[in-house]
């Protein structure tokens, strides 16, 4: 790979320096001498020494040898240097976001759809529809963390399409949807403008979800890679499209659209147990190998997208792919498909079609039970460290040293004191 390639080796390094004059300048001069592109630098109080500092730097190198030279150069000026993540570097943990703002790097990294449509898409040969899609995806491309989600003024034709989908699906929710979806949906109608004559704005729905579980919505141009999409869940962030399917076929879509996102996904993100379950998958994906990402994405497919659960002796749907598809919602609860207990080890290797109804579904006993099973599954993967999400700083903490684990344990101890105090007053 040459320095002019469009796909440089993205790498995160962490190094520690003592508080002395010129220490940081020496490190930056070393990086500059290696002719790599430094894209970000952040400083933090050291986790291991009282008066030292930890620096995190993101850089774009031309190859693995250049990264290694940077590490060797920094070792002359620092107490410790670690490669925290690198895409494509042999024997290295894949790069993953550590701060909420790191998700901004996903803004235009879409695999398919968005403004580009496949030839068999219902709107592929409709220039008006394609232009409209481009207008909406352009807003998602420039969105950055902390901004208000762009408002979309949906047209009468788009609202009519939404209304058709809305009316058909809500006929089935009371008999086919899980109790959590049934409980939240009326709240969305009351607080977020859900109705057959109005397409809710992502900003309003995102604020509602944040109040409920801390989950937020982020607009996206189209389909992200499984790694990027799952990584965002670790921060309780759900990437959502804003465009709607083509009006010629309102009950069909070959891709996620605003109907799928707001009718299928959004209601469940307001449930604490479901939110915890989704974040567990996200945390497991951080720094995971490509093979483990594939397995986690398959688990996500058979749960968050096409999951069934057992409630009061009956089987109900909670997967967004089911709750946003009139035909498959009915089919999934019939006696036609195979239904198996949710077991991450087996679910993660199950083959599945993407253009037709699923021949096999997996049944979760509860969202909490599913979360525990995913946590146990993740503990057996190849990742050499554990992570936790710090809600105060909206960042990921890598638990790879004794000092970090001890600090985490102290946090748990403080929480236990609070719990003990509460129990004593009851």
**What pLDDT digit, counting tens, does each position of 77-88 carry?**
887 787 776 665
Convert 308-356 into a string of H (helix), E (strand) and C (coil): EEEECCEEEECCHHHHCCHHHHHHHCCCCCEEEECCHHHHCCCCCCCCC
Tell me how far the alpha carbon of residue 402 is from its chain's centroid: 28
Q: Quote the longest CA-to-CA distance of the chain.
A: 73
Instruction: Identify the CATH number of the domain in which residue 61 sits.
Output: 3.30.70.260
Q: Are residues 258 and 350 in the same domain?
A: yes
For the residues of 162-193, what is the DSSP string, one character each? HHHHHHHHHHHHHHHB-HHHHHHHHHHHHHS-
Which of 84, 116, 147 terminates a domain? The answer is 84
pLDDT digits (tens, 9 = 90+) for 233-288: 999 999 999 999 999 999 888 899 999 999 999 999 999 999 999 999 999 999 99
Round to whole Å and give the CA distance between 274 and 290.
25
Residue 24 inside a domain? The answer is: yes
347 and 216, same structural domain?
yes
Kindly tell me if the per-residue pLDDT of 119 is higher than 90: no
Same domain, 15 and 109: no
Q: What is the pLDDT of residues 283-330, one digit of tens each?
A: 999 999 999 999 999 999 999 999 999 999 999 999 999 999 999 999
Pair 26, 106 in one domain: no
13 & 104 share domain: no
DSSP-derived pairing of the beta strands 216-219 and 237-240: parallel
Of how many residues is the chain composed? 426
246 and 365 assigned to the same domain:
yes
Name the catalytic one among 305, 325, 328, 332: 305
Catalytic site includes residue 305: yes
Of residues 324, 325, 332, 348, which has the active-site annotation? 324
22 and 142: one domain? no
Looking at 176, 181, 246, 265, which residue is catalytic?
A: 265
Q: Is 125 a catalytic residue?
A: no
What's the pLDDT score for residue 112?
Answer: 60
| Residue 87: both structure tokens together | 């895409």
Six-digit token string for 241: 């499209």
Q: Is 338 a catalytic residue?
A: no
Is residue 374 assigned to a domain?
Answer: yes
CB–CB of 247/118 below 8 Å? no
pLDDT for 218: 98
The answer as to whether 356 is a domain residue is yes
The rounded percent of the chain whose pLDDT value lies above 90 is: 60
**Is the sign of the CA dihedral 118, 218, 251, 360 positive or negative?**
positive
Distance from C-alpha of 15 to C-alpha of 174, rounded to nearest angstrom: 55
Task: Based on the residue annotation, tell me whether 2 is a catalytic residue of this protein.
Answer: no
Of 98-102, 283-287, 373-377, least confident by mean pLDDT is 98-102
261 a known binding residue?
A: no
With beta carbons less than 8 A apart as the criterion, state whether 57 and 37 touch: no
pLDDT category at 1 given cuts 50, 70, 90 is very low
Q: Is residue 129 part of a domain?
A: yes
Answer left, alpha or beta for residue 309, where phi above 0 means left and psi between -120 and 50 means alpha: beta
Q: Which two tokens stand for residue 378?
A: 């993740």
- Residue 367 and residue 240 share a domain: yes
Residue where a domain terminates, one of 53, 84, 115: 84
Tell whether 151 is in a known binding site: no
Token pair of 156, please?
């009468």
Higher pLDDT, 296 or 74: 296
Q: What is the CATH number of the domain that holds 263?
A: 1.10.800.10
Residue 37's DSSP bridge partners are 60
Burial of 200 per CB tally in 10 Å (0-12, 13-18, 19+)? buried
Residues 79 and 205 reside in one and the same domain: no
Q: Judge whether 70 lies within some domain.
A: yes
Instruction: Name the active-site residue from 206, 246, 260, 285.
Output: 260
Domain boundary, last residue among 84, 115, 143: 84
> For residue 351, is it within any domain?
yes
Residues 65 and 158 in one domain: no
- Asked, for residue 131, whether it belongs to a domain, the answer is yes
Beta-strand relationship, 360-364 and 308-311: parallel
Please say if the pLDDT value at position 167 is more than 90.
yes
pLDDT at 163: 98
- Looking at residue 422, its pLDDT comes to 85
Residue carrying the six token digits 């024997």: 91
- Residue range(s) defining the domain that contains residue 23: 9-84
- pLDDT, tens only, 181-203: 999 999 999 999 999 999 999 99
- The total domain count for the chain is 3
Q: What are the CA-CA distances from residue 36 to residues 2, 27, 81 (Å)?
A: 12, 13, 17
Specify whether 413 is located in the same domain as 364: no
Is residue 1 included in any domain, yes or no?
A: no
Environment class of 15 (CB within 10 Å of its CB; exposed 0-12, middle 13-18, buried 19+): buried
If asked whether residues 119 and 174 sit together in one domain, one would say yes
The annotation status of 125 as a binding-site residue, yes or no, is: no
- How far apart (Å, rounded) are the C-alpha atoms in residues 58 and 9? 10
> Which are the contacts of 93, defined by CB distance < 8 A and separation ≥ 6?
83, 84, 85, 86, 287, 383, 384, 385
């Amino acid at each position: 790979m040459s320095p002019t390639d469009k796909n440089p080796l993205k790498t995160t390094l962490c190094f520690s320096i003592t508080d002395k004059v010129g220490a940081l300048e020496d490190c930056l001069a070393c990086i500059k001498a290696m002719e790599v592109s430094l894209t970000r630098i952040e400083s933090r109080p050291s986790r291991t020494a009282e008066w030292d500092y930890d620096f995190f730097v993101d850089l774009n190198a031309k190859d693995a040898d250049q990264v290694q030279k940077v590490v060797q150069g920094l070792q002359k000026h620092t107490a410790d240097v670690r490669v925290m993540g690198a895409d494509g570097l042999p024997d290295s943990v894949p790069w993953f976001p550590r701060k909420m703002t790191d998700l901004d790097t996903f803004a235009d990294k879409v695999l398919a759809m968005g403004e580009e449509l496949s030839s068999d898409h219902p709107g592929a040969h409709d220039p008006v529809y394609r232009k409209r899609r481009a207008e909406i995806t352009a807003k998602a491309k420039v969105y950055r963390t902390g901004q208000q989600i762009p408002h979309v003024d949906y047209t009468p034709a788009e609202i009519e399409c939404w209304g058709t989908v809305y009316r058909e699906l809500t006929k089935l929710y009371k008999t086919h949807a899980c109790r959590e979806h049934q409980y939240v949906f009326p709240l969305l109608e009351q607080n977020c403008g859900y109705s057959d004559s109005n397409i809710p704005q992502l900003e309003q729905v995102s604020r509602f979800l944040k109040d409920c579980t801390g989950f937020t919505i982020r607009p996206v141009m189209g389909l992200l890679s499984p790694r990027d999409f799952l990584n965002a869940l670790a921060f309780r962030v759900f990437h959502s499209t804003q465009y709607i399917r083509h009006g010629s076929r309102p009950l069909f879509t070959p891709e996620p659209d605003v109907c799928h996102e707001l009718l299928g996904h959004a209601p469940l993100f307001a449930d604490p147990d479901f939110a915890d379950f989704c974040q567990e998958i996200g945390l497991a994906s951080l720094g995971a190998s490509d093979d483990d990402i594939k397995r986690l994405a398959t688990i996500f497919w058979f749960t968050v997208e096409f999951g069934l659960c057992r409630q009061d002796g009956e089987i109900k749907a909670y997967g967004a792919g089911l709750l946003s598809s009139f035909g498959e919602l009915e089919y999934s609860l019939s006696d036609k498909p195979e239904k198996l207990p949710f077991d991450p080890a087996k679910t993660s290797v199950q083959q599945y079609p993407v253009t037709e109804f699923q021949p096999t579904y997996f049944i979760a006993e509860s969202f909490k039970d599913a979360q525990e099973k995913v946590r146990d599954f993740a503990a057996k993967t190849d990742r050499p460290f554990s992570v936790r999400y710090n809600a105060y700083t909206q960042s990921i903490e890598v638990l790879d040293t004794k000092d970090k684990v001890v600090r985490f344990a102290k946090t748990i101890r403080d929480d236990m004191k609070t719990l003990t105090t509460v129990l004593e007053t009851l």
